[in-house]
Amino acid sequence: MSRQESPSIRLADIAALCGGRLEGDPDAIISGLASIDRPAADRLSFLASPRHLPDRFTVPPGCLLVTETHAAAFTGNRILVADPYLAYAQVSALFAEGQGREDSRVHPNAVVGPGSVIGHRAIIGAGAVVGRDCRIGDRVVIGHNAVLEDGCEVGDGTRIESSVTLCRRSRIGRDCVLSPGVVVGASGFGYAPEGGRWTKIHQLGGVDIGDEVDIGANTTIDRGAIDDTVIGDRVKLDNQIQIAHNVRIGDDTIIAGCTAVAGSTRIGRRCRIGGRVSILDHLVIADDVVLNAGAFVASSIPEAGTWASMIPAQPASRWRRIVAMLNRLESMRNRSRGDGD
C-alpha cells in the first residue's frame, strides 16, 4: 500500500465536524495534527488545560482547540469547544490513514480463496491470506501478512492491520480497528481431567465482535466452546489483553492493557477496567462498574461502583510493616474471640 499525501482541510470544515465556534480564518488550511509541545503552522493542536500551554511558541499552531474559558491563552486561529480532547478525537478521523480511497486493490502477493467476496474500495496488502467463503465489506483495509481463515466476515470500514489473525468463522462488525498481532478466534483453554491427565475440549463456537470496536496490539480473544464469545458495540480493548472462551463484554466498556478475563464471565455495559486486572471465570459484573488497576476479582459484582484490591507502591520498609500487620490480624481476631468466651 503506497503512502498517502497529507489531506488539506479548511478550518471551517473542522469546526463544523466538532461543533465548535471558529475564531479566525475559515479558509486556513490544516494538513495534520500536532501536540501542544511541538506545534506547526499547518497543524491543529488542542489545549486541555492552561498548564499545558508553553511559555512561548517557537512556531504557533495553525489552530488551537480550546475551551471558551481558556481561549485568552492563545490569540491565533482557535476553535472554541466544550471538550478539546473529545474534539481532537473527532477531528483525528479526518487525518487517519486510508481516508479518501477510491479503488479496491489486492496486492499481487495476497491470496484470496474461492467463494470470498471483496467489497468496494477494499485494500488487501502484500502477503495477506483471505480463506474460502469470506465476506469483506466496503472500504476494508487488510494489512500485510494478515490471515483470515475460512468463513470470516468483516464489516464495512474496518481496518485489519498487519499480522492480525482471524480464525475460522470470526465475525467483525463495521468501523473496527484491529491492531498488529491481534488474534481472534483461537481455541479456548479447555481441558477435562482424566485419571491425572488432561483431555482437550474442542472449542466449536466462534467470536462475534460488534461495530466500532478497537482492539490493541497482541490482544487475544478465544472462540467459544459451544456458544460464541461476544464483544459488544464500541468496546475498546488495549494492548495485550486476554479474553477467554465464552466471555461476553457489554457495549461501551473499556479495558486497559494486560488484563485477563477467564472463561464464561459476563461484563456489563459501560464498565471501565484498569490495567493488569484479573477476573476469574463464570462471574457476572454489572453495568457501570469501575475496576481499578491491578484488581483481583474472585466473585461477581452485582451493582455499579468502584472496586479495588491492590496495595499501591510505597517505600519497602512501610510496605513490610503493613504486610506484617495484616498477617497479625487473624491471630488478633482469635485472641479476641478467646477473650470473649
Catalytic residue positions, numbered: 245
Q: Kindly give, in sequence order, each residue whose CB lies less than 8 Å from that of residue 131, ignoring residues fewer than 6 positions away.
A: 113, 116, 148, 149, 150, 151, 152, 168
Question: Could you give the CA distance from residue 231 to residue 252 in angstroms, rounded to a whole number?
Answer: 10
Query: With contact defined as beta carbons under 8 Å apart, do 251 and 232 qualify?
Result: yes
What torsion do the CA atoms of 143, 230, 227, 139 make, to the nearest 10 degrees?
Answer: -40
* Secondary structure element (H or E) that encloses residue 279, with its range: strand 278-279
State residue 234 phi and psi, 5-degree precision: 60, 20
To the nearest 10°, report the CA torsion of 327, 309, 311, 323: 0
* Amino acid, single-letter form, for residue 52: H
Cα Rg, the chain, nearest whole Å = 25
Angle subtended at Cα 301 by Cα 227 and Cα 313, rounded to the nearest 5 degrees: 115
What are the grid coordinates assigned to 18, written together? 466538532
| The residue to which cell 461477581 is assigned | 300
